Amino acid sequence: MLYRGIVNAGWKALQATGHGRDTILIGEFAARGSTPAPPSHRAPQGFPGNYGQTKPLQFIRTLYCLSPSYHQLRGSAARSVGCPTSGAGSRRFRAQNPGLFSASGVSDHPYPDNLSPVRDGRTDPDFAAFPDLGNLARTLDRATGSYGAHPHFSIYNTEYGYITSPPASRHYVSQATASYYINWAEYLSYKNSRVKSYMQYLLMDPPASSGPYSGFASGLETPSGVHKANYDAYRMPFYMPRTSFSRSSSVEVWGNARPAGFEKVGGYGTQQAQVQEQIGSAWKTLNTVNLNGVQGYFDVRMKFPSSGQVRLQWTYPTDPLLPSGFSGHTIYSRSFNIKVH
């Protein structure tokens, strides 16, 4: 009820101040949440309580005044969460809550914890972690469709990352695994027409002295600015869905040189990167790809002559406006093995 009121107030203010055409997101949901529970000895506040979270898809249904089976709430169940108690009231709900139906999209923090982007070991039909983005989209469609609206909201990933070990405990993934996972997740986001954005959080790990947040080591750099292994993976995402294939196969190769988009805006036109394989002791360029659009992605199919390590290479233009050491400097993605048979 409180959040519905916040959306309405924000929506009206943005329309009134000339921002109605801006990108306006609702939600910013957490990936998971707690099953409601009464107070107990261990949790005297009950759950979700002051410091817990409602499961995100449960929250969405209640936000739209719907039961778990997507029927409109009635009677005391509706009244307790500020919803219409009659059919006539429900018919006015859409007009009374324009932000819930006309926003640009929905924001989500789909942290998978230390699990892969496609397998969440703590599955729950009401979670909104990365592997659940399809279910999140279906829930939103059913919720708005209950009132005859079909906006098909885009999903904006506005916080994502992997806590790494080191520096965190061994419970978390290695920096190499985090590198692989963030490239995999960005590739899946690129392929998903409902996902509008991909986000990395943090840039730099919190210092050990920062209290309870010191363990949230999802950054690309250490507190002193040293690059972690996942720094190169984020700067130049590089991913192949298949890494074992025959020599005659034309396989998908996807990637991005993230700084290249800024160079295009700076007037340097279409940027190019090189797909390379290590053959013997030398790296050989097998394909030069155009980095399309402002975002600088490419998605091509190509053949590989042999097993080995592959990587992506890109070189900054010669530009005196770049910071010291960047002009003309060549950078690389993470490298990984392919098996050609």
Q: pLDDT per position in the chain (341 positions), as tens?
A: 999 999 999 999 999 999 999 999 999 999 999 888 888 888 888 888 777 789 999 999 999 999 999 999 999 999 999 999 999 999 999 999 999 999 999 999 999 888 999 976 667 999 999 999 999 999 999 999 999 999 999 999 999 999 999 998 888 999 999 999 999 999 999 999 999 999 999 999 999 887 767 789 999 999 999 999 999 999 999 999 999 999 999 999 999 999 987 776 667 778 899 999 999 999 999 999 999 876 889 999 999 999 999 999 999 998 888 899 999 999 999 999 999 99
**3-class DSSP string for 18-59:** CCCCCCCEEEEECCCCECCECCCCCCCCCECCCCCCECHHHH
Question: Is the same domain home to 182 and 165?
Answer: yes
Question: Is the same domain home to 192 and 136?
Answer: yes
d(CA 225, CA 220): 9
**Phi-psi label, residue 250: left if phi above 0, alpha if psi -120 to 50, beta otherwise:** beta
Question: Is the same domain home to 204 and 256?
Answer: no
Q: pTM for the whole thing?
A: 0.94
Question: Is the same domain home to 46 and 96?
Answer: yes
Looking at 233, 255, 280, which one is the last position of a domain?
233
* Integer Rg of the chain from CA: 23
Shortest CA distance to 228 belongs to which of 237, 238, 218? 218
Q: Confirm if 297 and 254 have CB atoms less than 8 A apart.
A: yes
Question: Is the same domain home to 229 and 240?
Answer: no
**Phi-psi label, residue 49: left if phi above 0, alpha if psi -120 to 50, beta otherwise:** left
Question: Is the same domain home to 186 and 111?
Answer: yes
**Cross-strand pairs, 37:** 47
CATH number at residue 336: 2.60.40.2470
Q: Confirm if 110 and 130 have CB atoms less than 8 A apart.
A: yes
CB atoms closer than 10 angstroms to residue 246 = 9
End-to-end CA separation in angstroms for the chain? 59
Q: How many independent structural domains does the chain possess?
A: 2
How many CA atoms within 13 Å lie on the side-chain side of 295? 11
Q: What is the DSSP string of 179-239?
A: HHHHHHHHHHHHH-TTEEE-----SBPPPTTSGGGGG----SB-TT-PBPHHHHHHHS-EE
| Residue type at 118 in one-letter notation | V
Looking at 233, 252, 275, which one is the last position of a domain?
233
Looking at 213, 233, 253, which one is the last position of a domain?
233
Domain that holds residue 208: 2-233
Structure token digits, residue 158: 């506005």
Q: pLDDT tens digits, residue range 224-240? A: 999 999 999 999 999 99
